[in-house]
Amino acid sequence: MCGIVGFNSKKTDILNNMLKSIKHRGPDDNGVFENDEFSLGHVRLSILDLSSYGHQPMSFKNLVMVYNGEIYNFKEVRSELESFGYSFESQTDSEVILKAYHKWGIKAVDKFIGMFAIAIYDKEKREIVLIRDRVGVKPLYYYFDGKDFIFASELKPIMEYKKDLQINKDALYEFFQFGYISSNLSIFENCHKVPPGTYLTFKIQNSKFKIKEYWSIIPYFKKPKFTKSEEELVDELEKLLIDAFKYRMVSDVSVGVFLSGGIDSSIVTAILQKHYGNIHTFTIGFKEAKYNEANWAKKVASYLGTNHTEKYLSSDEAKEILKNFVNIYDEPFGDSSGIPTTLVSQVAKDNGVKVVLSADGGDEIFCGYERYWYSYNIGKKIFILPKIFRKLLAFSMNTVGVNNASKFIKMKNFEHKYNQLSEMFKNNTWGKIYEQIIHNFKSSEIKILLGDEQNITEHSFYIGEKEHPMQGMMLWDYHRYLPDAILTKTDRATMSVSIEGREPLLDHRIAEFMAQVPFKYKYKDGTSKYLLRKVLQRYLPNDLIDRPKMGFGIPMFEWFSKDLRNLFDIYFDEDEIKRQGILNAKYIKKEHDKLKNNRPININKLWFILVFEMWYKKYVK
């Protein structure tokens, strides 16, 4: 795993500063390429071929490349290139990528199994091509204002180059709705993410660029569904999983697995322990019982016979990680599980592991989030009511108001639920129902906080909905929540301690296969991840499989209402927030007072505001 940067000019000092800002991504080596029209930089975390032959930028004929990621099937692609007369100096996947692009151009990406952010400068064509992997495991940002074109693995290098960046209000709106910034937006104007499964071509001579998709999961959903038996589907899925997982063990350094004891991490661990052996597993636990999965992870590890390490996270350790949170996540990021993910990454590194496998993607591909069936059950009840009656209910709730209603109804987090239900009654589609449920701030609340509102739509929802509303929800998450929250969290957490995170369940062949599996094998008779559970039953007893899903969260309310409470006092200074002129200081004070007076509160709202204020203080003020 590495870090890459580049821009359309020659500025040696700035290039070096950009590389320093992401040194954590590649502490083993660094390199630069410069000419009068383009500069490239690379920091290297040595995983394959630890020798100097893996140094980047790497050149071949008219091409110069910097690259971040892993191509797991590079040996097969290399053999094919050798049949065409190509020779190789190293044992790296980097050299294979470069020569594959020389042979096939952008079509080379169709041959790759892996995760990658690739930048290739063609000196003859005078163009730079940026390529991001199919799902978006590896980050890739770019900035363009009509003159300066800049790209980087993180935002920090772009901030080193451009000192006058302005906050993007649309991105800020998305952050407060979801806790992350989705789509191709970033927190700054003129700065975007290269979308997953696409490539960007920038023509240096006329400063024009275009973005084109090379892969999407959608065409596979449009194909006819498999008519195979359940047993045949289980057999085929197991073969796919074994092949995908073994590919992720390709490394010249030690490899470990993050194990929570849930379905996804257990199947990764079980398959690798059986077919590879000597697996080292890592778990984070909490003293607060309702958040603690460490005991389950320990049972799974013991049954499988892995070399297991666990670490319990205290509020004091969380506070230390929080001090560095906005260094790790250099745009506002509200997924609090980034805290334990950072700690478990450090534990893995302390135990000599340089590559870790994380089981991200299982919920989105196999139907695992509780909110899917919760949203479906809520939606069914709402859509029973005639449309005119739903509108009347929404109007009545707005007229009565949450304050008056709370005098008669006593319920935990009542204000949030009341506003949520009121907005759901206004909606006429499954997509909007789902968005209302996954929002943290409701639209009306964000309008008060920011003085603005925005309509967000994920078009893939409606393709999935044709089969089942829950399939639409899964596709929504696959295109937004997965790349921009889950994968961002794992990439930054692992890279912050200079180890590589790999995502075995996100092999695109698994996603393509599951897109053609009928929905009834994803959620069957109230059982989530039905097909995946059937595979896991071949490796683990049912008593280690059938348990309530907990998720990789932290005891936020317990910590922020006690040990970490003073952080809100530090960052919620009313005068300072007014001077910023971005957020509504009175609204923040009202929400903060609820916590101070031990009144019901959605702690995520305060957490998101805290994250933004911490980020603003470091990067803007």
For 553, phi and psi rounded to 5 degrees?
-105, -175
Cβ atoms < 10 Å from Cβ of 243: 15
Q: Give 58's pLDDT tier (boundaries 50, 70, 90).
A: very high
For 174, phi and psi rounded to 5 degrees?
-65, -40
Tens of pLDDT, residues 589-621: 999 998 888 887 788 889 999 999 999 999 997
Supply the CATH classification number for the domain 225-316+335-368+498-544.
3.40.50.620
Tell me the angle at which helices 414-426 and 443-450 cross, rounded to the nearest 10 degrees.
110
Residue 49 reports pLDDT greater than 60: no
Residue 192 reports pLDDT greater than 70: yes
pLDDT at 10: 96
Q: What percent of the chain has pLDDT over 90?
A: 72
**Residue whose tokens read 């050798």:** 82
Residue 269 reports pLDDT greater than 80: yes
- Long-range CB contacts (within 8 A, 24+) of 193-196: 193/132, 193/136, 193/139, 193/140, 193/141, 193/142, 193/484, 194/117, 194/130, 194/131, 194/132, 194/140, 194/141, 194/142, 194/151, 195/132, 195/136, 196/132, 196/133, 196/134, 196/135, 196/136, 196/483
pLDDT at 393: 79
| SS3 per-residue string spanning 11-32 | CHHHHHHHHHHCHHHCECEEEE
Q: Which residues of 60-76 are buried (b: 16+ CB within 10 A; e: fewer)?
A: eeebbbbbbbbbbbbee
- Of 563, 580, 500, give the one whose Cα is nearest residue 248: 500
Measure the CA–CA gap between 458 and 57, rounded to whole angstroms.
Answer: 37
User: Active-site positions?
Assistant: 2
**143-152, 239-248, 404-413: which has the minimum mean pLDDT?**
404-413
Tens of pLDDT, residues 281-296: 999 988 877 777 889 9
To the question of pTM greater than 0.85 for the whole model, the response is yes
Q: Mean of the pLDDT values across residues 503-513?
A: 97
Measure the CA–CA gap between 38 and 18, rounded to whole angstroms.
Answer: 15
pLDDT at 597: 86
Residue 125 reports pLDDT greater than 90: yes
Q: Mean of the pLDDT values across residues 9-15?
A: 97
pLDDT at 411: 62
pLDDT at 373: 96
Q: Give 551's pLDDT tier (boundaries 50, 70, 90).
A: low
Q: Mean of the pLDDT values across residues 105-121?
A: 98
- The domain spans of the chain are 2-215, 225-316+335-368+498-544, 370-475, 556-619
From the candidate CATH numbers 3.60.20.10, 3.40.190.10, 2.130.10.10, 3.10.20.30, the one assigned to the domain spanning 2-215: 3.60.20.10
Of the two residues 25 and 452, the one the predictor is more confident about is 25
pLDDT at 458: 78
Tens of pLDDT, residues 422-470: 777 877 889 988 988 888 887 788 999 998 777 777 789 999 999 999 9
Token digits for 230?
């359940």
Tens of pLDDT, residues 130-164: 999 999 999 999 999 999 999 999 999 999 999 99
Q: What percent of the chain has pLDDT over 70?
A: 95
pLDDT at 547: 73
Residue 550 reports pLDDT greater than 90: no
Q: What is the mean pLDDT of the chain?
A: 91
